[in-house]
A and B are shown apart, each in its own frame.
Chain A
């Protein structure tokens, strides 16, 4: 568990705010305070969590991936087309889709790395491309009636006295555990942080920058494909208009969870808080019943603004206060964690 310090403070504030919002909902609305409402947050947002985990790696490395929403849509489309039109077994199709997502991400990562084109532009082209491919598969929505996938969609696993969760939540939890291990327990994870902190230093230290960057985008692609499989089974349909703007939600969740978009700062676990926060806003507005849906977007935007200002304030406070008393005649160390 990360200790409380200036860099983890936004993550902890996010946790506190989530608890406060959940408590407020419990006082304001009947039936809000229940284990199942909490678990429903996970069931409804499992796909977003998986996508946001992939995004966290990209953001930690100092990049950005705008293609995730489209890759989710393309995956639902191919999943629906595969089981309904081509009559493939989901057991064969899902691994293929995951591999395809990873490959798609790796290709974008390779272009970013090899030709030094900004990630923003490359993944933007990737976004258009994947969304366009959706419509080449089919313009209309394809309903999924495959018994295996329908079974996954309906299945519920009991979690003690709290209630039950869908298999998607279990998948998301496993993905989360793997991501936490990868980010905080492996040399690969350290390299991702190093690239995000200062790419040139990472290169000079002899870290495998090129390989790691490509792998980061591959992970994001893999997570997006997995998110797409979860989304497809959750909604039991494939559609080119699915998951529009999902990349924004994923980025917002990552930032609310405490990651800096300059890279190198943040926690994979923080992203969970970010996703839950987005979920609880939606649940609050749903429970209220009188608020229109657009308040969700305004609330998420306001929250995002709040956290950006908070992060910035902490950064400035840190800079104003020297890390150590300046040695007489010696140069003061710059406590700023960012080179720019």
Chain B
């Protein structure tokens, strides 16, 4: 390949995230020969790759919502707390009691499951709406506006669960986070549907353009007639909704809701995923595929650390180094610095 084409390739926004992901997968494949093998058992697809995808589902979901918020030059650091709230609402509604019928323990949910799911998603969207109103109507900086809910949210979640970890006994609920559809984990289908919907909105409607415009140059966007306020509120509400979906996935997967620990540090991982995927924190152009890639990088990293036998304590250190390296590689400053050096030498 000639130099110019290589340079063009490395400048493509998804090149570095893909390269990092490929490198991580390659390292895994080297140390763990069975890493890439997939098996079909009991009508399900099994394998380390499927496992990574499945575990990354909540993060991918939240990262997609976070992407549009960041595209509007905003940030939402309350998503972890919103995950906890949504999980708490769903679990407390569906928790119910164990009753004994014909000598068998049967679970009786207090509320019908669709209603509980709807209530949880509505609560999450309401949280997002609250953030959106604070940002768009009151005019508070996004990081502070969402800090309010980040601080208060876990308190609210614990208020809903009464400070307890609520265990869920309702088997149909487990389908969201642990069920399979056509051989693949159901959560993955949810992520795929969300990605498809968002990609359609971005590329086939003017919405994507509006969002990029209002992030790239808010004043110009307003002057060109975009209803920036309504758009912002909708974007934050949507981000809250994705956090709600992630909350359902997580609580369904671990069959419980923990107001204190559900979605812990998820907001930071989501922001990282978006950044790793090449969307600038300064708003404007955004990449949905990039954010999904970013989420996969984070999950692959975590999985590799566990499967390679590295002590799990090192996880955070390695994560910090990778984040740092990817951000550095993407920094135009570093490139200009390096080129200057090369010219000087």
Contacts and interface: CB of A to CB of B under 8 A. Distances in A.
B270 to A, nearest CB: 12
B155 A116 contact: no
Given A120-B271, A136-B313, A262-B141, A252 B328 contact: no
Q: Chain B interface secondary structure, helix, strand, loop or mixed?
A: helix
A135 interface: yes
B328 to A, nearest CB: 6
Contacts of A131: 316
Contacts, number: 132
Contacts of B253: none
Interface stretch (B156-164, B185-193, B200-208): B156-164
Interface residues of B, number: 46
A292 B139 CA distance: 33
B152 A298 contact: yes
B148 A305 contact: yes
Contact of A126 (B134, B259, B275, B320): B320
B152 A301 contact: yes
Given A252-B151, A292-B163, A129 B143 contact: no
Contact of B331 (A64, A116, A297, A300): A116
B139 A294 contact: no
A304 B331 CA distance: 34
B284 interface: no
B155 A294 contact: yes
A121 interface: yes
A309 interface: yes
Nearest to B331: A115
B150 interface: yes
A125 B138 contact: no
Given A115-B331, A132-B319, A294-B163, A248 B155 contact: no
B323 A125 contact: yes
Interface in A288-321: 292-298, 300-302, 304-305, 308-309, 312, 316
B209 interface: no
Interface in A217-245: none
Interface string A249-281: 001100100000110000000000000000000
Contacts of B153: 301
Contacts of B149: 301
Nearest to B276: A121
Contact of A115 (B139, B313, B316, B334): B334
B151 A248 contact: yes
Contacts of A295: 155, 159
Contacts of A114: 333
A293 B259 CA distance: 13
Interface in B225-271: 259, 268, 271
A17 interface: no
A307 to B, nearest CB: 9
A72 to B, nearest CB: 15
Contacts of B271: 120-121, 124
Contacts of B333: 114-116
Contacts of B138: 308-309, 312
Contact of A294 (B150, B158, B331): B158
Given A261-B144, A309-B140, 8 more contacts: A115-B331, A128-B317, A129-B320, A132-B314, A248-B150, A251-B147, A297-B158, A304-B144
17 contacts: A66-B268, A115-B331, A121-B327, A122-B324, A128-B320, A135-B316, A136-B313, A294-B163, A294-B259, A297-B152, A298-B152, A301-B148, A301-B150, A304-B144, A305-B134, A308-B144, A312-B139
Interface of B: 75, 134, 138-141, 143-145, 147-156, 158-159, 163, 259, 268, 271-272, 275, 281-282, 313-321, 323-324, 327-328, 331-334
